[in-house]
A and B are shown apart, each in its own frame.
Chain A
Amino acid sequence: MDNSKIRCFVIGALMMFLFVSIKTQAQNVENGKKIYETRCLVCHQADGGGVPNMNAPLDGATNVVGNDITRLVRIIKYGFNERVELDGLYYSNSMTPNPDLTPAQISDVLSYIRSSWSNKATKVTTVQVQQGIKGSQKTSTK
């Protein structure tokens, strides 16, 4: 193979890779949206705004767009039963656990939440979710 053929091949492969990864990302978010609508929307509302004093907002919330993915994964999987302070306000309602969601589904819904409304945070991978769940099992056996 001469140089130009190699170049062609590399560019082609790169384009394929980009195309596939963009498509999977879009699917992630699309799947995540469906999960959000059936499980999360009722409390967190259609615009991710939550309910004052009760259900925490997801839109623009620093913890939601922050880097502590493990915490987000654990809240979705195991629920949440504390009065929580978020950006200076308090929320008191219990969060329903979702023990039946797979790591892929949790990454989808988190990717949707972190990239919707005014949120522009990074997507969450299945590996990050798996690490988050492992982390929580370790903590719970301590």
Chain B
Amino acid sequence: MKKGIYLLLLLSISVHFLANAQENAGLTLPNGFKANLFAENIGSARHIAISKNGVLFAKLNRADKQGRTIIRLEDENKDGISDKITGWANYGGTGIYLNGNALYASSNEAIFKYQLDGKDEVVNPLSPITVVTGLINRRQHESKSITFDKANNIYVNIGAYSNACQEKDRTAGGQGMMPCPILDSAGGIWKFDASKENQTYGDGKRYATGLRNVIGLDWNPQANKLYVAQHGRDQLNTFFPSLYTDAQNAELPAETFYEINEGDNAGWPYVYYDNFQHKKIVSPEYGGDGKKEGASDIKNPAVAFPAHMAPMGVLFYTGNQFPEKYKNGAFITFHGSWNRAPLPQEGFFVAFVPFKNGKATGEWEIFANGFAGTVDGAKITSTRSAKARPCGLAQGPDGSIYVSDDTKGSIFKISYQK
């Protein structure tokens, strides 16, 4: 009898152990890398930032059960898993950025600044400074991601509240507006001085235009330039079935990663980037036929990725923990597609983009895969069935990287051991 109880206990412990200690938190990684769950079920975790003491801040897209939208996670016993979780704020959003002791967070209309003390505790959770306000939020592409240059300027994306600037958004055969009026106040990157308060459009500068929706952006410290990843337009086949098949729509247009100089134009909504012809092609809403090329002064991408995979976060790796090839290269999270349907969905991984002397080589590879949680490489046919969808990225003080998931709120920690 006693033996039986022990056996049962042993069995239940081992089942428990197996269920929780999935190798590398279920991820597939290059040789020598390992992953674990730094946190689970913290809510819709979008972008993340980490202090030099290793405290992680996550911006939630909507309030958690306690009504909080900025979550602070600390690993006090240094076992690689957060054990002290607190939070504050009541506005949903995506952007978060740590600049010294100043923590910046964005709603879908504004950017707020909080002060941290020497222990990375927030000093003014209820009374942040409003740095920028009144940014356009018209439902679609509403998130406002933020990054900084080395001179205390904020770069914020203002997504276009439209798919392709049709007179009536997302209608079959609908013509595009000429010129597209959205571009005056959205569909680009705006630059603001982080030391000023209560700024809006008039105080900032449109730094780049023709970007439909950017969620992932980061400053490349080696090149001293802004890099942004754009979500390409949807539904070429739905609205122009005589020009595009389902299979063509699943692969067009490319998701694009740009090196941005002030004044650059990436061409939305007039053109899209075709990664098979390696050309900027005129959008069907503006008289395109899938072949006609757009104006030559439109920016070319540094790297083009397969269509619809939805780049969410960009991180230039400056740590010393990973092998040499990763130094100064960029990691990009891909949320996973929906508009490839009826073909299977793609994405749900973290890509690595190698850089040489501050320039992208044009190559890319999958770095971390398996977030969707499918068995034996099965494909995702409906986006909601992905168990996790990679979103935010941040580098820890030891050179590990962290990846957030906004589905269930996991934070994955990825490290390298020689």
A97 pairs with B407, CB closer than 8 A: no
When distances are taken between beta carbons in the complex, the residues of chain B under 8 Å from A90 are: 62
Minimum-distance CB pairs A-B, first 6: A49-B384, A45-B382, A51-B338, A47-B382, A49-B382, A94-B170
A52 pairs with B383, CB closer than 8 A: yes
Q: Counting CB contacts under 8 A, is A53 at the interface? A: yes
A42 pairs with B169, CB closer than 8 A: no
A54 pairs with B172, CB closer than 8 A: no
Most-contacted residue by chain B among A42, A43, A47, A97 (CB, 10 A): A42
Q: Counting CB contacts under 8 A, is A93 at the interface? A: yes
Q: Counting CB contacts under 8 A, is A32 at the interface? A: no
A43-B65 Cα distance, complex, nearest whole Å: 29
**Closest Cβ of chain B: how far from A36's Cβ, in Å?**
11
The answer, among B61, B170, B341, B385, for a CB contact under 8 Å with A53, is B61
When distances are taken between beta carbons in the complex, the residues of chain A under 8 Å from B168 are: 97
A47 pairs with B381, CB closer than 8 A: yes
The answer, among B139, B338, B342, B381, for a CB contact under 8 Å with A55, is B338
A-side interface residues toward B, CB under 8 Å?
A: 37, 39, 41-43, 45-47, 49-55, 57, 79, 81-83, 90, 92-97
Q: Counting CB contacts under 8 A, is B235 at the interface? A: yes
B-side interface residues toward A, CB under 8 Å?
A: 61-62, 139-140, 142, 163, 168-172, 235, 237-239, 338-339, 341-342, 381-385, 389, 407
When distances are taken between beta carbons in the complex, the residues of chain A under 8 Å from B142 are: 92
**Closest Cβ of chain A: how far from B76's Cβ, in Å?**
32
The answer, among A39, A45, A96, for a CB contact under 8 Å with B171, is A96
A55-B171 Cα distance, complex, nearest whole Å: 16
A42 pairs with B383, CB closer than 8 A: no
A95-B163 Cα distance, complex, nearest whole Å: 12
When distances are taken between beta carbons in the complex, the residues of chain A under 8 Å from B381 are: 45-47
**Closest Cβ of chain B: how far from A57's Cβ, in Å?**
7
A57 pairs with B342, CB closer than 8 A: no
When distances are taken between beta carbons in the complex, the residues of chain B under 8 Å from A81 are: 139, 169
**Closest Cβ of chain A: how far from B232's Cβ, in Å?**
15
Could you list 24 examples of A-B contacts with CB < 8 Å? Answer: A37-B342, A42-B237, A42-B339, A42-B341, A43-B338, A43-B339, A45-B381, A46-B342, A46-B381, A47-B384, A49-B384, A51-B338, A54-B338, A55-B338, A79-B171, A81-B139, A81-B169, A82-B139, A83-B139, A92-B139, A92-B142, A93-B170, A94-B163, A96-B171
When distances are taken between beta carbons in the complex, the residues of chain B under 8 Å from A43 are: 338-339
Given the known inter-chain contacts A47-B382, A51-B383, A52-B407, please indicate yes or no for A94 contacting B338, CB distance below 8 A: no
A93-B139 Cα distance, complex, nearest whole Å: 7
A97-B238 Cα distance, complex, nearest whole Å: 12
B384 pairs with A93, CB closer than 8 A: no
Given the known inter-chain contacts A53-B61, A97-B171, please indicate yes or no for A42 contacting B139, CB distance below 8 A: no
Closest partner residue, chain A, to B239 (CB atom): A96
B169 pairs with A49, CB closer than 8 A: no
B384 pairs with A50, CB closer than 8 A: yes
Given the known inter-chain contacts A45-B383, A47-B381, A47-B385, please indicate yes or no for A92 contacting B338, CB distance below 8 A: no
A82-B169 Cα distance, complex, nearest whole Å: 12
B238 pairs with A45, CB closer than 8 A: no
A140-B139 Cα distance, complex, nearest whole Å: 23
**Closest Cβ of chain A: how far from B139's Cβ, in Å?**
5
A93-B338 Cα distance, complex, nearest whole Å: 12
**Closest Cβ of chain B: how far from A48's Cβ, in Å?**
8
When distances are taken between beta carbons in the complex, the residues of chain B under 8 Å from A92 are: 139-140, 142
A96-B383 Cα distance, complex, nearest whole Å: 20
A82-B342 Cα distance, complex, nearest whole Å: 25
The answer, among A39, A47, A94, for a CB contact under 8 Å with B169, is A94
**Closest Cβ of chain A: how far from B46's Cβ, in Å?**
10
When distances are taken between beta carbons in the complex, the residues of chain A under 8 Å from B342 are: 37, 41-42, 46
B140 pairs with A93, CB closer than 8 A: yes
B384 pairs with A57, CB closer than 8 A: yes
The answer, among B62, B170, B341, B384, for a CB contact under 8 Å with A96, is B170
A37-B238 Cα distance, complex, nearest whole Å: 11
When distances are taken between beta carbons in the complex, the residues of chain B under 8 Å from A57 are: 384
When distances are taken between beta carbons in the complex, the residues of chain B under 8 Å from A37 are: 342
**Closest Cβ of chain B: how far from A25's Cβ, in Å?**
26
B235 pairs with A94, CB closer than 8 A: no
A46 pairs with B338, CB closer than 8 A: no
When distances are taken between beta carbons in the complex, the residues of chain A under 8 Å from B235 are: 42
